[in-house]
Structure 1
């Protein structure tokens, strides 16, 4: 693969899941330059996920073994550190740009360990081969993570209740005249999702390692942009190519990491979010009443987790076309109350962090100016000779 020329596989790792993208990279390497002896694959997730068939962790290990590459599994189970320390480190590395906390509950231990082991970077599988089927502007925006508050039932209520300004799509991201939904969908994926959502995820790791994305090379994206809608939708062409390659290991249908909603419903997490959101600092940012509104949506406990799991199971069994039709008509989506609270929690914590940084920077600038002034003042003071 062109974009991997010159990569020292001794010092780079390939994150491997049970899906198509990273498998495609592994098999493209194998079929073009052969399987390098020093190529190493890694997978991360909950410790228990390794034994679950159809899980990313299980499938990735089986695939690596079949291809003949070394494989190591890293656990993302909750760190023994205080939860606030784990969240603060995540915010520091992510700059508060994304709320995907599930893969980082180990307190960034995976990435620190890789850095300490001398790993320079990771070969990631971000791609632009095409998104799921869509049926409206609403499903296009939500699919690529570009939804507006007005698209969500509970967010639009909060916006109206507390007088926040309405959101508008930037002109360059709006659907163009004559642009079909499928074309707009994949343009938003490349112009918004990759440089905003996926870049935010990448930058978390870039606190420790470099990254390269071979499937985002110019030649690959130019080819994808020439495909008709049917070859792009749901990555149809990529999936067909990868499925035709050996070994024919089944694909994963379960994620190895914990469900973020499960994490955010743990009592310790709920207590931490409630404390921050109800603080005086929060009131200064958002005004009175806002904290109570957000806190009222918090849920905690196993019963709630089971209800949500059942709801998710039912949703997973519905065809995408049916779910899209429901979203477009009767089932206007809502943001989970605990997810919303976590995002507010992130805003408060990041505001504190950035305000402190700005204050420290101002102090450093004043100190530097004082030192520079002190250094030149003797030269500016005229000498006086007193003759006796």
Structure 2
């Protein structure tokens, strides 16, 4: 495990530069889980994610010669911004290698912090391989996102802050990708209070560390696919796996649907914007992925909030449809004056609010003289949608509904 003294020293190093983010009770989440849930809001960190803690601690501990030669990092985004802002603080040149599919928000954010960004590879692991070669060729120090004792110690400062505010936590829920965050957090927690249960939460679409934990040996994946890009790591690290096997009590998985639901829940019920990785602990709670006793005190780390706006829009739109607050219907009408008015009158009688109408008379699937009407409605739940469906049937309209 990561030595507690290193984590304490890391806290002294990062204090004054990073934010001490809120660690607050989530009343609604506590009520539905019958526990006390406290959220560590690292989405409010200065770069929007916890990664700056480890990056700053690593660069702070470089000697002057290494600082002159610059640093290189590979990242899907959050580590990139952490390295960039830390390097700028110390006057060190930073070059960041990011996957080609990295969210635009994270790419732009990294450049804005003064780093040079090079896009390479389809995922983190391919970007990582390129970054290692680049660092060697340019004589720069490679700042690893998780396989580094200074980085892990920096991430462990989160646990110090959490336990300083709520000393009697029963469980810690931690997102897991490469394992740097949980290595530092679990090491700290177990040395402060061995009775705390540490639960890792990984994305089902990036199963390497989960499978490695269950099999007690390194188990890499052939590919990754998840909306939780911050933990989309293909290969399991033997370094962090060793810490996890020593300090972590259990690991669970959540799929993209569950992650999306958790993002939407946090947005609506907690007024918190998080990215996919940051939502995984809440997804595990909402989906009861592990057993916890009534009244247990649970600390969940919301690791980051740098979600792409387009992805957030997709999650919101799908969430509205799944929760019966948006209804999309397709109706074929005879294309003549007044036909659309009759349809909208039927919808009005059901109290449905029309927000969008698309009118297609050119599709080859239609008979001549027909038009396909696609209408998006605001509704108030399943009972309201049933009322809309009945009004359409009573009006003689045949329709299909999109889900």
TM-score class, shorter-chain normalisation, is under 0.3
State the TM-score, normalizing by the size of structure 1: 0.27
Of Structure 1 and Structure 2, the greater helix share is in: 1
Of Structure 1 and Structure 2, the greater strand share is in: 2
